A and B are shown apart, each in its own frame.
Chain A
Amino acid sequence: MVEAKKKLIDGSGKRLDGRKWDDLRPISLQVGLMKNADGSAYIEWGKNKIMAAVYGPKEVHPKHQVLPDRALLRCRYHMAPFSVDERKNPAPSRREIEISKVIREALEPAVIVEDYPRTAIEVWVEVLQSDGGSRCAGITAASLALADAGINMRDMVVGCSCGIIEDTVVADLDDTEDKEGSGDMPVAIMPNLGQVTLLQVDGIYSREQFQKAFELAIEKGKQIYGMQRDALTMRFFGGEATSTQVEEVAE
């Protein structure tokens, strides 16, 4: 861990960008922007700018990958070469391959893959600009894109990362906090089913800090879920959306 040059939290408890320990960065969500995709969603979360698109259910190629009893969920998380400070080689890195795997495993519990045997459902997550927490932002957008594509789902999936900076548990690390802080914990949940679908941890946490960061990530995830519902309402019903309106429509 790099010794922090600047204090990441000042004496009055403010972080570098002025947030309190449990504040999220600004998040905006839009659903259904891509013309060709069956479903799509665009998320801006802090400096993250990520587009997620879903194609499918469609024929599986190559055919030997067909699953007889369910859909094959494919997922690719990819960072554009211009998304980071130093140009990133566009070929998939080991990091991107691992993140693609954990995103797929975070989304699949929510997708009712048994409803689409012998098909493929493809989820493409393209990071146009990256800030901290891009895998969580990607999951949040991908879940909206799946819903937009009309894929049967048990619940939405929403991600949020928490971590430790200056020995304090904080919500939603940005790029600087991720690099100079002492721990990052991305978590994805299915908010209505109360289940965790992604958990990764790095850094050093006492048992108490671990629990606090984990529970904070779940709480913040539920908050972001409200925004997901608003974004879906905007997409399908237009107008000013609030979480309560969605409930009325659902009834």
Chain B
Amino acid sequence: MSVKKNYVVETIRRAQLAQLLAEGKRIDERALDQTRPLTIETGLIQKANGSAKVTLGNTQVIAGVKIATGTPFPDTPDKGLLVVNAEILPLSSPYAEPGPPSEDAIELARVVDRGIRESEMVDLTKLCLIPGKNVVTIFVDCNVMNVDGNLFDATSYAVVSALRTSKMKKYVVKDEKVESTEEWVPVPVERTPVSVTLARLGDKMIVDPVTEEEASMDMRITITTDDDGHICASQKGEASTISPAQVLEAADTSIKVGKQIRAKILEATK
């Protein structure tokens, strides 16, 4: 992702990484299923309803939540709107460019959105004000500030942390009209989805790859799990394959690592 493919360097580095992995080692001395240090700072943008800055190793993402009211989608008249978007900013990497979102940025936004949506993290039925006419709309926009691999997980953690700490105006319906009160209430958050991404290099699977590992990886798989260890979203990426056994192995790793990350997110956002 946003990594310029340099064939010569990539090929040489790939052989080095594969050799290290064969000995069970990684370039930054992590275990294969070990994530990088994760720090979460919330409430840094006062003008947003909620915000979070997530630092995962050298990858950094800021998510901001803006909440208003609007019309619902015609096929879900009794549900609020939750839209997650992500942008890979030109300041985040020498290889990122301004302009319309790249294929990578669109995939990033959609995969993160899927994890949040499918886990039913926010109870959207509680955000309906006048069915078919007026609902609460939540937009979560993510700015990737620094790219060093695994944007999927860092962005997802930023969205979850921002939503968990967001406050919205309490809306009341009077005479078929929506009025905003001065009272602040939390967003109806029910679940804590956690996304875990693994990269495959040769026959080894590694958790939370850095840019250099991503430049050499064959395949990437992101799996999002919820508080019950249920799987609620997944996406395989890159032009290579994964064996059925590796898919199940990745699912088990995601459930295990997801638990550790969830504890950190809950601690940082309580």
Listed in ascending order, the chain A residues whose CB lies under 8 Å from chain B are 1-2, 68-69, 73, 94-95, 97-98, 100-102, 104-105, 108-109, 179, 183, 185, 190, 193-207, 210-211, 214-215, 218
What's the dominant secondary structure at chain A's contact region?
Answer: mixed
Residues of B within 8 A of A179 (CB): 75
A196/B243 in contact, CB under 8 A: yes
Interchain CB contact under 8 A, A207 and B235: no
Sample 19 A-B pairs with CB under 8 A, ordered by A number: A68-B7, A69-B7, A73-B239, A94-B106, A98-B106, A98-B110, A101-B107, A102-B107, A102-B235, A105-B238, A195-B243, A196-B236, A197-B241, A203-B118, A204-B119, A204-B231, A205-B232, A207-B229, A218-B244
Near A by CB (< 8 A), chain B positions 102-151 give: 103, 106-107, 109-110, 114, 117-120
For the complex, count residues of B whose C-beta is within 8 A of A: 38
Residue in B closest to A183 when the chains form the complex, CB atoms? B118
Q: Is the CB of B118 within 8 A of A200?
A: no
Q: Which B residues touch A206, using CB under 8 A?
A: 228, 230-231
Which 6 A-B pairs give the minimum distances between C-beta atoms?
A201-B234, A108-B239, A195-B241, A199-B236, A202-B118, A210-B231
Task: Tell whether, in the assembled complex, residue B244 and residue A194 are in contact, meaning their CB atoms are under 8 Å apart.
Answer: yes
Q: Which of B231, B243, B251 contacts A194 (CB 8 A)?
A: B243
Residue from the list A69, A94, A205, A218 in contact with B230, Cβ < 8 A: A205
CB contacts (< 8 Å) of B231 on chain A: these are: 201, 204-207, 210
A202 with B107: CB separation less than 8 A: no
Distance, CA A197 to CA B220, complexed state (A): 11
A1 nearest CB neighbor, chain B only? B120
Q: Is the CB of B230 within 8 A of A200?
A: no
Residues of chain A contacted by B243 (CB below 8 angstroms): 194-196
A109 to B240, CA, bound (A): 5
Residue B88 CB within 8 A of the other chain: no
Query: In the complex, which of the residues A69, A109, A201, A214 has the most CB atoms of chain B within 10 Å of its own CB atom?
Result: A201
Q: Which residues of B contact A215 (CB under 8 A)?
A: 244
Chain B residues contacting A202 (CB-CB under 8 Å) are 114, 117-118, 232-233
Q: Which of B75, B223, B242: most chain A CB closer than 10 A?
A: B242
Given contacts A1-B120, A68-B7, A94-B110, contact A196 B242 (CB under 8 A): yes
Flag if A204 contacts B7 (CB, 8 Å).
no
Cα distance, A179 to B238, chains bound together (Å): 27
B76 touches A (CB below 8 Å): yes
Say whether B248 contacts A201, CB under 8 Å: no
Known A98-B107, A194-B243; contact A200-B234, beta-carbon cutoff 8 A? yes
